[in-house]
Chains A and B, each alone.
Chain A
C-alpha cells in the first residue's frame, strides 16, 4: 500500500478517536443534548472498509454511526453541528446522534431500530445493480442486529439476488449489556453466511490493514457482480453502551485485555516499524486533527438552532 494511503488511514482513525473523546467531554458539560453511542475502539473497521469505497458508493450505519460517517468522508463540522442540534447539521438537527445521514456522501442513514438498516442497504444494492453505475453498498451493523428478522430476510434476499453489497458485522461482544454468548449459540457470526449460500469471513477488527484487505476482496467481488460477503469483525466497545452506561457488566480483565489491543495504538506502532511515521509526523497529524475538531465545535456553537416553522415542514402528510 502506498505511503499516502497508509497515512490517510491513520489520520482518519485518529480523527474518529479524537472526535469521540472530545464529544464525550462536551456531553459531560451538558452542551450536547440527547443520548449518544460512541465508536471508540472500533475505528479500524469503519476506516478499513470505507477506504475501499468510492465517493458514489453507499453505506448504511447504525445507532453507533459517528465513525462510519467520518470514515466515508462526510464533513466533520456538519456532524458536530448535528450533535449540537443545530440547523447546519448534516440532518439539520432533526436526526441527532442515533440517526446520522449524509445522502450526498452516500451515507443513507443510521437508526434507532436495530437491524432496520440491513434490508434498506439491500434496496440500495438492488438499485445500484439495476442502474449499472458500478456502485456497491457497505452495510454496517452490530452483533446484536444478527438476531433480528431484518438481518435474516435481508441477507437471504441479497444472496438470492446476488446484490452488490458487503455485510459488515462489528462484533464488539456485547449488545447493550448482553454478552454475545447469551445471544448467539455459535462461535463466529461469520458461520451464518453459509446458511444463505454466501461466503463469511471472521477477521481481527482491531487490525485496520486486515480489515482493509478482506473488505477489498469482498468489494471487488461485489462490484464484479459475484454477490455479497459477510465479514465479521471481532472488536470491542471501549465505552459503555450509551452516554450514561458505565458498562460495569463487563469483567475488568476483559476490558483491560482489549485496551491492550487498541486498534489505533497497534496501527501507529506498525507505521513506526515500517518507517512511515515518527514522533514528529505523528504530532503533526495530531495537531491537524485537533484543529479541525476545534473548528467544528466553533462552527457548531455559532450555528443557529433549527427554526420551528421549517422543521415542521419535512413530512408531506
Chain B
C-alpha cells in the first residue's frame, strides 16, 4: 500500500488534531458520551482511548450539564478539556454552563480566570427530525465570550481544532454530520444531493489555522457568496454550474470562524463584486446570515449594486418527512435562484 500523506476525511482530520494535541500537551483531556471504546457517535474519537487511556478519554453518563460543568472546572484549574456533545441539539441541556458560566467567568473574575475549553458538536439536517438536525451556530454567535468555529474541509477541521485547543477561551466547534466522511480531492460528499466537489485534504504535519481568517474557496468577480459548512460545498457546485452555463463569475468565501469574523475579506470582496448572497443552514430569522448581512449593510452599503440576499433554512422546526425537510433546508436550486436574483437587479 502507498504511504498515506494526507487526510481526506473530516472525521480523520479531527481525530488527528486531537491526537497531536494530546501528545503535545498532557493537559488536554476528552469528555463526552460514547467517546470511549465506541469512538463517538460519528467515530471521531475512535482509537483514542487505546492510545491515551481512560483517565484522559472519559466516557460520560448522559449528563450534558455535568460534561460542560466538569470541563469548566477542570479548565479553571489547569486542564484543557475538549468536550463532545453528541448532537448540537443537546447543547440546550447544558446551555447554562456554556452561556452563563463558560462565556462569562473571565469577565466576572476580572480576568483572573480563563476557561480554555472546546465544545465539539455536530449540526446539520439529515432526516433525523426536529431534535437531531438543527444548526445552532447563531445562538453562540449571539453570546459574548464564546468563539465559534465552522470547518468545511479536512484542512480546516484539523488546523482550527488544534488552534481551538490552544486558545485560552471557550470555543464552540461545529462540525457538519454530512461532511465527516467527505473524501477528497474530488471525492463524494455522502448524502448531499449527490454532491461532488473539491475538498481540501489535511497534511499530517504540524500546522494551525488562526481564528478570524476567512478562506476564499473560489475567486470571482460578479457576486460574493459567503457560505459555511455544508453550504460551502453546495455554493461551490452552484458556482461551477453558473460559470459553465451562464458565464457568471462567483466568489465563494468560507469564513471558517464566525466569531471572530473576518469582516475584511468579506467587505473587500463585496467592494469588488457589488453583490452579496449569504448562505447558512440555520433558520434565516436571526441567523448567521442576518449578522453577516447586517455588517455588510453597515460598512459597505455604498458599494452594493443590489439588495443583499440571505439563503437559510425556512423558519420552522425541521420536519421528519424528507420531502418537506428538503424544502426547508437550503438547496442548490434555492442558492442558484438567489444568486440569479441578486445579479438581475
Contacts of A73 in B (CB 8 A): none
- Contacting pair A308 B93 (CB below 8 A): no
* Min CB gap A229→B, angstroms: 23
- Contacting pair A147 B62 (CB below 8 A): yes
Contacts of A175 in B (CB 8 A): 33, 61-62
Q: How would residues 60 to 93 of chain A score, 1 for a CB under 8 Å from any chain B CB and 0 otherwise?
A: 0000000000000000000000000110000101
Q: How would residues 44 to 80 of chain B score, 1 for a CB under 8 Å from any chain A CB and 0 otherwise?
A: 0000000000000001111111100000000000000
Segment of B160-168, B316-324, B334-342 engaged in the interface with chain A: B316-324
Q: How would residues 96 to 140 of chain B score, 1 for a CB under 8 Å from any chain A CB and 0 otherwise?
A: 000000000000000000000000000000011111100000000
- In Å, the complex CA distance between A62 and B127 comes to 18
Most buried by A among B33, B59, B65, B319: B319
- Contacting pair A98 B128 (CB below 8 A): yes
* Min CB gap B117→A, angstroms: 20
Most buried by A among B36, B87, B93: B93
In the assembled complex, A99 has its CB within 8 A of some CB on chain B:
yes
- In Å, the complex CA distance between A302 and B79 comes to 58
In the assembled complex, B332 has its CB within 8 A of some CB on chain A:
no
- Contacting pair A176 B38 (CB below 8 A): yes
* Min CB gap A152→B, angstroms: 10
- Contacting pair B62 A144 (CB below 8 A): yes
Interchain CB contact (< 8 A) of B323 among A145, A182, A306:
A306
The size of the chain A interface, using a CB distance under 8 A, is 38
In the assembled complex, B306 has its CB within 8 A of some CB on chain A:
no
Closest to B131 in A: A112
In the assembled complex, A161 has its CB within 8 A of some CB on chain B:
no
- In Å, the complex CA distance between A162 and B320 comes to 37
Contacts of B240 in A (CB 8 A): none
- Contacting pair B37 A177 (CB below 8 A): yes
- Contacting pair A94 B321 (CB below 8 A): yes
Interchain CB contact (< 8 A) of B322 among A85, A148, A315:
A85
- Contacting pair A35 B128 (CB below 8 A): yes
Contacts of B61 in A (CB 8 A): 144, 147, 175, 178, 182-184
* Min CB gap A112→B, angstroms: 3
- Contacting pair A85 B321 (CB below 8 A): yes
- Contacting pair B129 A95 (CB below 8 A): yes
Interchain CB contact (< 8 A) of B316 among A86, A111, A315:
A315
In the assembled complex, B221 has its CB within 8 A of some CB on chain A:
no
In the assembled complex, B305 has its CB within 8 A of some CB on chain A:
no
- Contacting pair B131 A99 (CB below 8 A): yes
Contacts of B63 in A (CB 8 A): 147-149
* Min CB gap A155→B, angstroms: 15
Q: How would residues 91 to 113 of chain A score, 1 for a CB under 8 Å from any chain B CB and 0 otherwise?
A: 10111111100000000000111
- Contacting pair B319 A112 (CB below 8 A): no
Contacts of A308 in B (CB 8 A): 323-324, 327
Q: How would residues 135 to 150 of chain A score, 1 for a CB under 8 Å from any chain B CB and 0 otherwise?
A: 0000000001101110
* Min CB gap B247→A, angstroms: 33
CB within 8 Å for A98 and B129 given contacts A182-B59, A249-B38: yes
Within 8 A of B (CB), among A255-312: 305-306, 308, 311-312
- In Å, the complex CA distance between A86 and B62 comes to 32
- In Å, the complex CA distance between A211 and B270 comes to 67
- Contacting pair B128 A312 (CB below 8 A): no
Within 8 A of A (CB), among B131-167: 131-132
- In Å, the complex CA distance between A97 and B38 comes to 24
Within 8 A of A (CB), among B190-205: none
- Contacting pair A176 B128 (CB below 8 A): no
Contacts of B324 in A (CB 8 A): 93-94, 305-306, 308, 311-312
- Contacting pair A249 B37 (CB below 8 A): yes
- In Å, the complex CA distance between A182 and B60 comes to 8
- Contacting pair A99 B90 (CB below 8 A): no
Contacts of B37 in A (CB 8 A): 177, 249
In the assembled complex, B294 has its CB within 8 A of some CB on chain A:
no
* Min CB gap A252→B, angstroms: 15
* Min CB gap A181→B, angstroms: 11
- In Å, the complex CA distance between A95 and B314 comes to 17
In the assembled complex, B84 has its CB within 8 A of some CB on chain A:
no
Contacts of A112 in B (CB 8 A): 87, 89, 128-132
Interchain CB contact (< 8 A) of B65 among A91, A149, A176:
A149
Q: How would residues 190 to 221 of chain A score, 1 for a CB under 8 Å from any chain B CB and 0 otherwise?
A: 00000000000000000000000000000000
In the assembled complex, B295 has its CB within 8 A of some CB on chain A:
no
In the assembled complex, B34 has its CB within 8 A of some CB on chain A:
yes
Sample of 17 A–B contacts (CB below 8 Å): A33-B127, A34-B129, A34-B322, A85-B321, A94-B320, A94-B324, A96-B127, A96-B128, A99-B130, A115-B93, A149-B63, A176-B34, A177-B34, A183-B60, A183-B62, A306-B323, A312-B324
Give me the interface of A with B, judged by CB distance under 8 Å: 33-35, 85-86, 91, 93-99, 111-115, 144-145, 147-149, 175-178, 182-184, 249, 305-306, 308, 311-312, 314-315
What are the 9 A-B residue pairs with the smallest beta carbon separation, nearest first?
Answer: A96-B320, A112-B131, A177-B38, A147-B61, A183-B61, A93-B321, A85-B321, A96-B129, A34-B127
Give me the interface of B with A, judged by CB distance under 8 Å: 33-34, 36-38, 41, 59-66, 87, 89-90, 92-93, 127-132, 314-317, 319-324, 327-328
